[in-house]
Amino acid sequence: MLEESIEKAASTLKLPKDVVLGEVLVSFLGRHSVVIENYRSIILYTDNFIKLQAKNCRVNITGSRLMIEYYTNEEMKINGFIKSLEFE
Amino acid sequence: MIEWLNRHFFGYLFIEMSGFSPERFLNMCTVHEIELWKVVNTGPTYQFFMTVPGFRKIKPLVRKSKVRLRILKKFGLPFFLYRNRRRKFYAAGFFGFFVIIYALSLFIWDIEFDGNRMYTYDTLLKYCESEQIRYGMQKSKIDCDALEESLRTSFPEITWVSARVSGTRLLVKIKENEVLSEIPVKDETPCDIVAEKDGIITSMIVRSGIPMVSVGDTITKGQVLVSSAIPIIGDSEEIVNTHYVHSEADIRAKTEYHEERKVPLYRKIDVETGKVRKGLYVKAFNTSFLLMRPRPDGTSWKKTMEEEQLHLFQNFYLPIYIGNITGKEFISYERPYTEEEKKQLADNINKEFEKKLLEKGVQILENRVKILDNESLCQITMDLITDEPVGRQEAFKIQTTEEQKETNHSDERN
């Protein structure tokens, strides 16, 4: 209920939703690089599977030779051969 | 860039991690704001980079997440210094370089003048030297305002000066007065006009004074052409007084020039063999160093040198000069002039002479060149008939002689 009202407010005020709602923001650069913003934590990290916790969902990335180029509190960049990205 | 510098300055590590829950460790690192990058999973272990200050903070995290860390490699300045801690002279040299550069930057190594047309570089430089401003002096001792002031007062033609020190150079910009600063005072002292050369008068324009000759007259050198003495004749047709004026006239006369040049019959010819020797030359302060192969005995070389001052940046000149020397071998031999070469030579000499005359304002009417061969010398004679101004103002000094003449006359009368 609260979330919905916040979303409405954000859309009427034309504020960026990723900032206001804290939703995960995924941007791909081709299939070799992906930047994930607004994630919470890493749940699992292996060579071919990465599972991240976001605010209200989980993000699964599958691929091979996955490498975390850098990561900070808000942002993470993953390089490698990316096969798929799923939400749970 | 700043990040890169930061990492290198404080050092960073390449670390291998293995253990129970690496993800937990990674998450805790973000919470504690410890920077990690290039995290790679290689089967059972994880490898990543980490800064040294970060590494100092992770001990409790390691214990909590029950992982084991192993340092694989160390990078950055602290480790570099530690590895090279015995190389003291290396460090001394490194810092010595900066010290020397700083020391050199305290002096003036180049003085440049810009905008000077009337005064040459050497005049201005000499003047600066007399003002205790010279090449190699300390920068802090230069007072640009005083230099500007003194330049303006000592050179009246300079209307605007701007002096500034930039890097190790003293740049002086000068504006010179384009019009004459003073009007030449008209010379009013009485004088005659006297012939400079022998000749026949072709034209005469007399503005003041009494002409003593007329067009068509033959004159000799030193003859008075226009007299400054104007007699004032009274009613009884006798000279009451003599008034002396500053005579002025344009007088042109037909004159002749005879010029003779003697040239040896044999000419020396230098032929380049095509062999080139190159060398370098380095000059610092008063010592110079030459890098060149010694010349083989019995050969002669023509050398040219290009010198250049070293500078780090546009205005950071150093007291070091580098010269490029190019030597070209030549062989000289003598052979007689050919007829054509003689003609060419005579022509050249003639042209040179003509040019000299034309510069003086002489008009050339006729020009004859003759080449005569002697046994040992080649004689080139030039006969020119010219038209030129011959009048020369000569300060009036005939007064006494005239007086004498007058006394003579009076004697005769008596």
Binned at pLDDT 50, 70 and 90, residue B410 comes out as very low
Most confident of B63-77, B352-366, B372-386: B63-77
Number of domains in chain B: 4
CATH number at residue B160: 3.10.20.310
Q: For an interface test with A, which of B20, B30, B65 has the most A Cβ atoms less than 10 Å from its Cβ?
A: B30
Are B239 and B272 within one domain? no
Question: Collapsing DSSP states into helix, strand and coil, what is residue B124?
Answer: helix
Contact B28, A41 (CB under 8 A): no
Out of 2.60.40.2000, 3.60.21.10, 3.40.47.10, 2.60.40.1170, the CATH code matching A24-87 is 2.60.40.2000
Are B69 and B14 within one domain? yes
Please state, in angstroms and rounded to a whole number, the distance separating the CA atoms of residues A69 and B388: 93
Contacting B residues, span 43-62, partner chain A, CB-CB under 8 Å: 43, 46, 48
Among B334, B354, B373, the domain-final residue is B334
- Which residues have C-beta within 8 Å of that of residue B61, sequence separation ≥ 6? B25, B28, B29, B32, B34
B26 and A45 within 8 Å at the Cβ level: the answer is yes
pLDDT of residue A85: 93
Q: What is the DSSP letter of B138?
A: B
Residue carrying the six token digits 């407010």: A9
Question: Collapsing DSSP states into helix, strand and coil, what is residue B360?
Answer: helix
What DSSP assignment string belongs to B227-292? E-EEEEE-TTSSEEEEEE-B-EEEEEEEEEEEEEEEEESEEEEEEEEEEEEEEEEEEETTEEEEE-
Q: Domain spans of chain A?
A: 24-87
User: pLDDT tens for residues B82-96?
Assistant: 998 898 899 899 999
User: pLDDT tens for residues B121-155?
Assistant: 898 889 888 888 888 888 888 888 888 888 888 88
Among the listed ranges A24-28, B105-109, B183-187, B265-269, which one has the minimum average pLDDT value? B183-187
**Is A49 at the interface with chain B, CB within 8 A?**
no
> CA of A10, closest CA in chain B: separation in Å?
28
Among B176, B199, B220, the domain-final residue is B176
Binned at pLDDT 50, 70 and 90, residue A10 comes out as confident
pLDDT of residue B96: 95
> CA of B96, closest CA in chain A: separation in Å?
40
B204 pLDDT more than 70: yes
User: pLDDT tens for residues A33-63?
Assistant: 999 998 888 999 998 999 999 888 899 999 9
Please state, in angstroms and rounded to a whole number, the distance separating the CA atoms of residues A41 and A55: 10
Residue carrying the six token digits 């047309």: B117
**Is A66 at the interface with chain B, CB within 8 A?**
yes
B71 pLDDT more than 90: yes
Residue B262 within a domain:
no
Domain of B172, in residue numbers? 110-176
> CA of A22, closest CA in chain B: separation in Å?
17
Binned at pLDDT 50, 70 and 90, residue B408 comes out as very low
Q: Which residue has the higher pLDDT, B186 or B281?
A: B281
Question: Collapsing DSSP states into helix, strand and coil, what is residue A19?
Answer: helix
Q: Which residue has the higher pLDDT, B300 or B88?
A: B88
Of B196, B192, B197, B232, whose CA–CA distance to B212 is shortest? B192
Contact B194, B224 (CB under 8 A): yes
Give mean pLDDT, residues B2-15: 92
pLDDT of residue B348: 87
Give mean pLDDT, residues B201-225: 85
pLDDT of residue B181: 61
> CA of B14, closest CA in chain A: separation in Å?
14
Among B312, B334, B356, the domain-final residue is B334
Amino acid type, B247: S
User: pLDDT tens for residues B21-57?
Assistant: 888 898 998 888 888 899 998 888 999 999 999 999 9
Orientation angle between helical segments B121-130 and B144-154, nearest 10 degrees: 120
Residue B150 within a domain:
yes
B38 and A67 within 8 Å at the Cβ level: the answer is yes
Here the ipTM equals: 0.83
Among the listed ranges B208-212, B302-306, B332-336, which one has the minimum average pLDDT value? B332-336
**Is B85 at the interface with chain A, CB within 8 A?**
no
Q: Which two tokens stand for residue A66?
A: 């996955």
Give mean pLDDT, residues B257-275: 81
pLDDT of residue B399: 52
> What integer best gives the mean pLDDT of chain B?
83
Please state, in angstroms and rounded to a whole number, the distance separating the CA atoms of residues B190 and A12: 105
B404 pLDDT more than 50: no
B349 pLDDT more than 50: yes
pLDDT of residue B180: 66
Are B24 and B77 within one domain? yes
Residue B381 within a domain:
no
